[in-house]
Amino acid sequence: MNTRTLGTTGPTVSALGLGLMGMSDLYGASDEAESIATIHAALDAGITLLDTGDFYGMGHNEMLLRDALRGRNRDNAVISVKFGALRDVDGGWNGSDLRPVAIKNFLAYTLRRLGTDHVDIYRPARLAPDVPVEDVMGTLAELVKAGHVRHIGLSEVSAETLRRAHAVHPVADLQIEYSLISRDPEAAILPTARELGVGVTAYGVLSRGLISGHWTPQRETDATDFRSHLPRFAGANLDRNLALVDALRAVAEARGVTVAQIAIAWVLSRGEDIVPLIGARRRERLTEALGAAAVTLTEADLAAIEAAVPSGAAAGSRYDEAQMAFLDSERA
Ligand SMILES: NC(=O)c1ccc[n+]([C@@H]2O[C@H](COP(=O)([O-])OP(=O)(O)OC[C@H]3O[C@@H](n4cnc5c(N)ncnc54)[C@H](OP(=O)(O)O)[C@@H]3O)[C@@H](O)[C@H]2O)c1
C-alpha cells in the first residue's frame, strides 16, 4: 500500500484509510466478529489510518477498535478519533459540547476505551455555536502539549474556519465528504487546505454505498439505518442517482474494474494530499475497495468519468435539512 502524508505537519499514513463508523452505528445491523476480521484484514493489507468517533455506537466503536488491536503493534496504527457529538439513549443527536472541560472529559473516556495513552489525530466532529474554533484549538493544543494527542484534525468546516483554526495551531487534516457526487469542497475548501498545508481525509467516497454499484432500489433499510433518512436515497432522487451509477458502471466495465473501485480511484486521483476513508465493514467489501489503490486513471478515463457523472449531477442534498444547518462547511 502506498503512503501519503497528511499536510505539512501530519503523520504519514496509508493511501486509503479505514473508517469504522458503520461497524457500530448508523448503517443498520453489523457483525462484530466480521468487523474485527475486516480491521485485521485492513491492517494486514497495509492500512494504517483507522478512523473512529467516541459517539459511534456510544463508545462501542472505540472498544471494537481496542479489541481489534489487541496483540497488534498499536504504534503501527494511526488512530483518528472524532468527539463532541452529544447523543441520547435512542441514538438521537443533541448538538456538540466543545467546552474545555467537556473535551478533556471526552478524551479521558476515549483513552480508557481504546486502551492507549494517546490519540494520533483528535478532531471535533462538528463545531458548536457557543465555542469559537480558536478556543477549541486552544484546548486541543494543550492536549498536544501534554502528550495525550499527537495531531489536531477538523471535520466539515469551511475554508474560512480552517484558516482561523490553523492560525492557532497547525491542523493535520480536514475530514470532509468528497466524492464524485459531492464536489462542493473543490470551490474553496480544497484550495485553502492546499494553501495552508492541511491534508484531507475524504469520507463518503462511495456516498455511503449509494455510488458503490451495490445499491439497488429494492435495498431495504430499517429505522437504524441513517441512509433511510438521507435525501439522496429517497424516491425520485434515488432513481436519478442510480442512473448516474449506471453510467459510471459502463466506464468501470470498459476499464475492467468495479464501480466502487473507479469511484475510490477518482478520489485518489484528485491529489496526493487526499486520503479516502473506506467504510467497508466486511472483508469482501474491503477487498474490493483495496483494489482501487492499484487503479491509475488516464486523462481519457477521467473525461469518461466526468461525462458519466458531471459535477453537480446528484439529486438531493447529502444530509437532511436539520443536519445541513449544522455543517460549518456549508456556510459560504
Ligand atoms: N467527519 C464526518 O462527518 C464523517 C461522516 C461520516 C463518515 N465519516 C468517516 O468516514 C468513514 C467512511 O464513511 P462512509 O461509511 O460513509 O463511506 P463510504 O465508503 O462512502 O460508504 C461505506 C458503505 O458503502 C457500502 N459499500 C459498498 N461497497 C463497498 C466497498 N467496496 N467498500 C466499502 N464500502 C462499500 C457499505 O455499505 P453496506 O455495508 O451497507 O453494504 C459501506 O458501509 C466512516 O466510517 C467514518 O469513519 C466521517
DSSP annotation string for 201-237: EEE-TTGGGTTSS---TT----TTBGGGG-GGGSHHH
pLDDT digits (tens, 9 = 90+) for 128-186: 999 999 999 999 999 999 999 999 999 999 999 999 999 999 999 999 999 999 999 99
Which residue has a Cα nearest atom 37 of ligand 1? 209
Provide the CA 290 distance to its chain's centre, in angstroms.
16
Q: What is the mean pLDDT of residues 57-65?
A: 98
**Contact, 123 vs 171, CB < 8 A?**
no
Residue 207 Cα to ligand 1 middle (Å): 7
Q: Whose CA is nearest to atom 39 of ligand 1?
A: 281
Here the cell at position 159 is: 475554508
So what's the pLDDT on residue 314?
A: 97
> What average pLDDT does range 258-285 have in this prediction?
98
Active-site annotation, residues: 56
Q: Which residue has the higher pLDDT, 323 or 245?
A: 245
- Residue ranges around ligand 1 (CB below 6 Å): 19-22, 27, 51, 82, 125, 155-156, 175, 203-209, 212, 214, 260, 277-281, 285, 288-289
* CA-wise closest residue to 154 among 165, 143, 144: 165
First to last CA, the chain: 37
- What percent of the chain has a predicted confidence (pLDDT) above 70? 100
Element (H, E) at 135: helix 133-145
Nearest to 202 by CA among 181, 221, 216: 181
For position 224, what pLDDT does the model report? 84
Confidence of residue 70 (pLDDT cuts 50, 70, 90): very high
**pLDDT confidence of residue 332:** 64
Express as a percent the part of the chain with pLDDT over 90: 93
Q: Record the cell numbers describing residue 224, joined without a space.
A: 437504524
Interval between CA 176 and ligand 1 midpoint (Å): 13
Task: Give backbone dihedrals phi and psi of 44, rounded to 5 degrees, phi first.
Answer: -65, -25
pLDDT at 107 over 90: yes
pLDDT, residue 221, reads 84
Residues 84, 128: Cα–Cα separation, whole Å: 8
pTM, 2 dp: 0.97
pLDDT band at residue 223 under the 50/70/90 scheme? confident
Q: Please state, rounded to an integer, the average pLDDT across all residues of the chain.
A: 97
Q: For 279-330, what is each residue's pLDDT tens digit?
A: 999 999 999 999 999 999 999 999 999 999 999 999 999 999 989 998 999 9
Q: Name the pLDDT band for 100 (thresholds 50, 70, 90).
A: very high
Mean pLDDT for the stretch of residues 3-17 = 98
| Position 203 confidence tier, pLDDT thresholds 50, 70, 90 | very high
Nearest CA to ligand 1 atom 10: 203
- Ligand 1, atom 25, lies closest to the CA of 209
Residues in the chain: 332
| DSSP three-state, residue 93 | strand
Q: What is the distance between the alpha carbons of residues 183 and 191, in angstroms, rounded to a whole number?
A: 13
pLDDT of residue 54: 98
Q: What's the pLDDT tens digit per position in 32-47?
A: 999 999 999 999 999 9
Give distance in angstroms: CA of 280 to centre of ligand 1.
6
How far is ligand 1, taken at its centre, from the CA of residue 103, in Å? Answer: 26
How is residue 170 written as a grid cell?
497547525
Q: Which of 203, 219, 259 to mutate to test the pocket of ligand 1 (most atoms within 8 A of CB)?
A: 203
Which residue, by CA, sits nearest to atom 26 of ligand 1? 209
